[in-house]
């Protein structure tokens, strides 16, 4: 795979973003709207090494070539509930073909559980969609970011009840949709 589109995707993600989201909680038939502001900054190789160490991941060479970010965000729901989080994350490509690149997605703090976590990603260079799948203790989260253009991302989040080992994802607990616009400062 030509990694130019992959590299450009992440270069375009750096900056400040504003997101309007809608969450559909299927377990109790509730719809929630929220707004989130994101600050995305590149990670240094030193911080990438720490993310690898936090996850007991193998040491890698050429850390400067791997995409990695510090992500800070603030969310406020329509009911006034607030959440702030700051985490470091990085992507380690493993294999690919002409259009799809796959690998590991590492964070020093997970969204659903406050701990380091290694997840899986795939990137489609044709659609510029980054698909991230994280196996938590009780749920499996499938998060999609499609970069429509350098100023607009479309987000989709599906949380599934974690199935028994080697069984397909089936029971959807939460569906989220978001429109994320880059904030020009």
- What is the per-residue pLDDT for 47? 96
- Contacts with 81 (C-beta within 8 Å, 6 or more apart), sequence order: none
- For 142, phi then psi, to 5°, come to -115, 110
Taking 50 as the pLDDT cut, the residues of the chain under it are none
- Contacts with 35 (C-beta within 8 Å, 6 or more apart), sequence order: 18, 19, 20, 21, 75, 76
Domains of the chain as residue ranges with CATH? 4-183 (2.40.128.20)
CA nearest to 121, candidates 89, 73, 86, 88: 89
CA nearest to 10, candidates 57, 46, 48: 48
Global pTM? 0.93
**Backbone Cα Rg of the chain:** 16
- What is the per-residue pLDDT for 184? 85
- What is the per-residue pLDDT for 114? 86
- What is the per-residue pLDDT for 4? 87
């Amino acid at each position: 795979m030509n990694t130019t589109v992959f590299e450009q995707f992440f270069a375009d993600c750096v900056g400040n973003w504003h997101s309007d989201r809608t969450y559909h909680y299927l377990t109790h038939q509730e719809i929630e709207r929220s707004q989130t502001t994101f600050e995305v900054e590149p990670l240094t190789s030193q911080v990438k090494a720490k993310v690898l160490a936090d996850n007991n991941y193998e040491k890698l060479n050429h850390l400067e070539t791997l995409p990695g970010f510090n992500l800070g965000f603030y969310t406020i729901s329509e009911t006034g509930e607030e959440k702030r989080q700051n985490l470091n994350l990085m992507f380690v490509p493993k294999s690919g073909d002409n259009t799809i690149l796959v690998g590991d997605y590492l964070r020093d703090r997970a969204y659903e559980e406050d701990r380091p976590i290694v997840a899986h990603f795939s990137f489609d260079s044709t659609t510029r969609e980054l698909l991230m799948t994280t196996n938590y203790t009780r749920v499996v989260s499938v998060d999609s970011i499609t970069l429509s253009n350098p100023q607009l991302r479309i987000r989709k989040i599906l949380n599934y009840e974690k199935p028994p080992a080697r069984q397909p994802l089936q029971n959807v607990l939460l569906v989220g949709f978001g429109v994320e616009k880059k904030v020009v400062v």
